[in-house]
């Protein structure tokens, strides 16, 4: 224990967050019933912060190679919203003593070892606002660290980990904030990653993570968490090293000076100053989140419907029919004239030559489909939505230069904030098995992508019980969710 703890600079804090004030209208109970879920809005209980810590890699393990220049794939995310994830683990016998004396020290020790391999997570985003021509970078110097918050919460663990609609703001106390920016000489330094570990006495533990998107995409984040869990289970990094999944930092794999110059001009550096702090989620809010499952048999029936309606369609996948069905249900729950749907595509295997799967950073681009809402709400609304998504994805994957063109289009939309107000975005992918994230306590009881709350979007992942089934997280205003739940279940009845 003494060996592990010497890497940590710990400050204990007394007290905690007070219960937030909410309006009288928010205190009024609202309920709605559906074939599978019941929802009730309640006020938030108190969460108590037990400890603030800073966890660094072991001394002298990173060396002088602690700077990582950003590429054009990273530039488009410099002005984007942070990413928040929550993992819930059911531990019915966990006590506060066991939590503070065993679980927390082990998590810190294994995190420290993991950071020596994934040093950018402990570093800072370096931006030169007075000289935008200088390329931003992720920089690590000896002593840099990840901020770790240890907390205790009285929220209802079973309620949080259910699939029924739940008040979004209940989750916001469980995700950590990123640190404030600091002005140093001619650059601004911004922390890129933070962690919060929360105890639910005699029920379980949650691990919340927040990162700047410029740090890396979902594949990079997944690689980091998988390494952390492997090291947490064994106590050393020997088994992780043996897997051969060390991150690849070679920036020459993505080297296009012309594209970098063009992308860099699209970044808005005006907000990067000593007052800069990434946005965070807070209440009160009328948004709720719910989880929906599409089984393999249901997905196959959806595929059959699309193939029947559009027999010449060349691309019908589980992803396109799942997204098409959810998008059509969202369109029917709103009253807008125009709907847009966006999703990201991992380019690693699609670059020429291909980039290693363990490449560290962002290597994704996006597709965005726009359509009149009336086309989503008719009898053929679902099949039409799946067709539009499939056609755009097929075009991206097959046409020459489509990758670069779509990256430019997505960057223009993201960096200039020209996304439609009714944009539905997809976070995550079933290819990354987040329910395999095991710190030694078994699979998570629930995984939630909290950052979809910013834009009332959806998340997509493989299910805990079966990788063949899809789990879809949906965030919507409460009145839209009530309509969505009914539409979702009623629509599936038509395919039985």
Q: Does the active-site annotation cover 213?
A: yes
Which residue in the list 156, 164, 438, 489 is annotated as catalytic? 438
**187 Rama sector, left if φ>0, alpha if ψ -120 to 50, beta otherwise:** beta
Residue with tokens 């469980």: 174
Number of neighbouring beta carbons within 10 Å of residue 352:
6
Closest CA to 294 of 126, 495, 431, 134: 495
Q: Which residues contact 347 (CB under 8 A, 6 or more apart)?
A: 73, 355, 363, 364, 365, 403, 407
Secondary structure of residue 125 in the 3-state scheme: strand
DSSP 270: T
DSSP 354: P
Question: CA 215 from chain center: how many Å?
Answer: 12
Which residue in the list 213, 406, 447, 453 is annotated as catalytic? 213
Cα four-point dihedral sign 404, 405, 410, 415: positive
In a 10 Å sphere around its CB, with 0-12 CB exposed, 13-18 middle and 19+ buried, how is residue 258 labelled?
A: exposed
| Cis preceding-peptide flag for 159 (omega within 30 of 0) | no
Parallel/antiparallel/unpaired status of strands 124-127 and 137-139: antiparallel
- Straight-line distance from the first to the last Cα atom of the chain, in angstroms, rounded to the nearest whole number: 57
DSSP 359: B
Alpha helices (H) along 51-139: 72-75, 96-98, 104-117
Rounded CA-CA distance 57/121 in Å is 10
Decide if 247 contacts 118 (C-beta within 8 A).
yes
- Backbone torsions φ then ψ of 360, nearest 5 degrees: -95, 125
Parallel/antiparallel/unpaired status of strands 423-427 and 338-346: parallel
Decide if 458 contacts 473 (C-beta within 8 A).
yes
Q: Does the active-site annotation cover 438?
A: yes
Strand (E) or helix (H) holding 205: strand 204-211
Rounded CA-CA distance 484/36 in Å is 13
Rounded CA-CA distance 398/416 in Å is 28
Decide if 108 contacts 4 (C-beta within 8 A).
yes
Catalytic site positions:
213, 438
């Amino acid at each position: 224990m003494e060996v592990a703890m010497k890497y940590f600079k710990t400050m204990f804090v007394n007290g905690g967050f007070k219960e937030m004030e909410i309006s009288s209208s928010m205190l009024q109970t609202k309920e709605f019933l559906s074939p599978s879920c019941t929802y009730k809005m309640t006020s938030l209980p108190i969460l108590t912060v037990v400890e603030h810590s800073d966890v660094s890699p072991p001394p002298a393990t990173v060396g002088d190679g602690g700077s990582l220049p950003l590429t054009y794939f990273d530039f488009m995310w410099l002005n984007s919203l942070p990413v928040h994830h929550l993992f819930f683990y059911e531990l019915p016998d966990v006590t506060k003593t066991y939590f503070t004396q065993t679980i927390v020290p082990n998590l810190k020790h294994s995190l420290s070892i993991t950071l020596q391999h994934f040093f950018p997570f402990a570093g800072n985003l370096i931006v030169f606002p007075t000289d935008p021509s200088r390329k931003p970078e992720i920089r690590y110097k000896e002593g840099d660290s990840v901020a770790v918050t240890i907390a205790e919460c009285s929220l209802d663990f079973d309620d949080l980990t259910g699939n029924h609609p739940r008040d979004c703001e209940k989750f916001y106390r469980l995700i950590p904030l990123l640190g404030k920016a600091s002005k140093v000489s001619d650059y601004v330094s911004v922390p890129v990653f933070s962690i919060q570990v929360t105890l639910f006495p005699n029920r379980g533990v949650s691990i919340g993570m927040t990162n700047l998107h410029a740090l890396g995409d979902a594949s990079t984040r997944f690689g980091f968490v998988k390494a952390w869990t492997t090291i947490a289970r064994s106590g050393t990094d020997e088994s992780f090293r043996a897997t051969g999944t060390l991150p690849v930092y070679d920036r020459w794999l993505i080297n296009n000076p012309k594209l970098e110059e063009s992308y860099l001009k699209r970044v808005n550096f005006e907000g990067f100053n000593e007052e800069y702090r990434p946005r965070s989620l807070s209440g009160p809010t009328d948004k709720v989140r719910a989880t929906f499952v599409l089984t393999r048999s249901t997905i196959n029936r959806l595929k059959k419907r699309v193939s029947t309606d559009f027999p010449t369609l060349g691309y019908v996948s589980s992803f396109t029919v799942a997204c098409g069905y959810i998008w059509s249900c969202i369109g029917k729950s709103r009253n807008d004239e125009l709907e847009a749907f966006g999703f990201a595509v991992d380019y690693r295997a699609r670059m020429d030559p291909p980039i290693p799967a363990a490449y560290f950073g962002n290597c994704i681009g996006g597709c965005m489909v726009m359509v009149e809402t009336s086309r989503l709400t008719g009898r053929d609304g679902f099949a039409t939505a799946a067709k539009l998504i499939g056609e755009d994805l097929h075009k991206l994957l097959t046409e020459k230069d489509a990758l670069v063109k779509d990256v430019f289009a997505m960057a223009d939309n993201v960096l200039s904030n020209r996304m439609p107000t009714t944009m539905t975005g997809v976070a995550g992918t079933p290819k990354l098995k987040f329910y395999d994230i095991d710190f030694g306590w078994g699979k998570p009881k629930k995984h939630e992508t909290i950052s979809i709350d910013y834009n009332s979007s959806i998340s997509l992942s493989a299910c805990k019980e079966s990788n063949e089934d899809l789990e879809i997280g949906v965030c919507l205003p409460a009145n839209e969710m009530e309509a969505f739940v009914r539409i979702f279940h009623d629509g599936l009845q038509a395919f039985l």
